[in-house]
Chain A
Amino acid sequence: MPDIGGSDLFVLAFGDILHYFNPYTATLFLLALLFTGLVIASRPERQLDIAFGGDAYYAKMTTVSEMRFRRFMAIACGLASMGAMASGDIFNFTLFVSLVGITNVGIVSAVRIRHVLNAAYEYGIVAMVATLPLFGGAALILGTTGTLSIQALAAGGFAVPLVGKALLALGVIGEGMAPFYAAKAEMFRAPGAPYVIMCSLSSLLIFLRVVEIVITI
């Protein structure tokens, strides 16, 4: 099996669940950690719309309660992506990914702008539907190999079906929309910069991680 992540730097054993870092996942984990710290420390941006042809501008305010809720969801999203980076178990990975999808919807659901909510609604439907291929892929891998540990699967000796990997990747794409950022652009128009960027960063991270998993197992 190709080992694209590099050799293990650190393994933390919780019973049957191994959490491990290799240079690849450690980099992704540090990125998530750094950005979660930024989300905690920073204050939301204030969007300004200039009215053309005059000196006037509109300042969009973010209320404190909305800011609090979105910051909470962004921190939860960061924690979930950190968990997805460190997890060495396919089922736990899928759980963390679905948590990322839910918190992504939560980050934008607090916004009161109609077109942003419309986009978030479409995205929420995809995130809900994507749990089927996500958990279906994990279940197929468990059924055909008898184990869920990524390290055991990477050691070889198991015939992981291609369709299981494809379903897993499709589920992660649906939860995070990672390669289709154009579709998420409507959501990113919501004011409140650091929280909204957490959506895109977390989906990018889980997508990169699932690529590593699919190639490794």
Chain B
Amino acid sequence: MLIISRISRVLSNFQHLVALFAGACVIVSLIGIFSLPLAFEENQLYPKTLDPASSLYPYDRGGVPFGPTEIVAQYPENSPYAGYVTTYLTPLSQYLADHTHYLGTTIVAHPGGIIDEILYNTRGLDTVVETSILFTAFAIASYLYRRREEE
């Protein structure tokens, strides 16, 4: 038997799938271990410092309260207002702020609230994608749960 047909026979059985993938992970990890040490780039775009002496440790994310704080960005020209919190209001948030007095208490509780917006402008759509991943996972889980109830 040709070796390629042997390989394809092994691959065609989906019960070998996990073992195959685990094997590939092991091989790549071994290559990774042998290629150590990898140099850490000191000039990080999203710097993070931990100061155990700080009274805010470990929540001290840097920055000076009521003082100027420089925000590092990959493309500073795209976000000239990075750090100015209220510049990130979405049209919905702006509408709520214009027409009610209660946006301050709901600011993190609706999509496009201020917290979302800061993350959105500095580093990403990733917060949106993360929440949608969670949402999708919950949708699948609830569907499976309700299907069991139906049976």
List the interface of chain A (C-beta within 8 A of B): 13-18, 69, 72-73, 76, 83, 87, 89, 91-92, 95-96, 98-99, 102-103, 105-106, 109-110, 112, 118-119, 122-123, 125-126, 129-130, 132-133, 140, 142-149, 152, 159, 161-163, 166-167, 170, 173-174, 177, 180, 182-186
Contact = CB atoms under 8 A, between A and B. Distances in A.
A184 B13 CA distance: 9
B41 A17 contact: no
Contacts of B40: 143-144
A170 B82 contact: no
B95 interface: no
Interface string B109-140: 00000000000111111100110110011011
Most buried by A among B38, B44, B140: B140
Which 5 A-B pairs give the minimum distances between C-beta atoms?
A146-B41, A163-B32, A95-B129, A15-B121, A13-B78
A183 B129 CA distance: 28
A103 B143 CA distance: 13
B12 interface: yes
B50 interface: no
Helix, strand, loop or mixed for chain B's interface?
helix
A109 B144 contact: yes
B18 A180 contact: no
A159 B147 CA distance: 50
Given A96-B129, A126-B21, A15 B120 contact: yes
A109 B124 contact: no
Contacts of A140: 38
Nearest to A123: B17
B133 A95 contact: yes
B38 A144 contact: yes
B55 interface: no
Interface string B44-86: 1110000000000000000000000000011100110010000
A73 B137 CA distance: 11
Contacts of B124: 14-17, 89, 91-92
B136 A18 contact: no
Nearest to B151: A112
B125 A126 contact: no
Contacts of A125: 18
Given A89-B125, A132-B25, 14 more contacts: A16-B78, A16-B122, A73-B136, A95-B130, A98-B133, A102-B136, A102-B137, A144-B38, A145-B41, A149-B75, A162-B35, A170-B25, A184-B14, A185-B12
B120 A106 contact: no
B105 interface: no
A146 B72 CA distance: 12
29 contacts: A14-B120, A14-B124, A14-B125, A16-B73, A16-B79, A16-B123, A17-B125, A18-B78, A83-B129, A89-B125, A92-B129, A95-B126, A99-B133, A102-B140, A126-B21, A129-B22, A132-B25, A143-B40, A146-B41, A146-B43, A159-B39, A162-B31, A163-B38, A166-B31, A173-B24, A182-B12, A183-B12, A183-B13, A185-B14
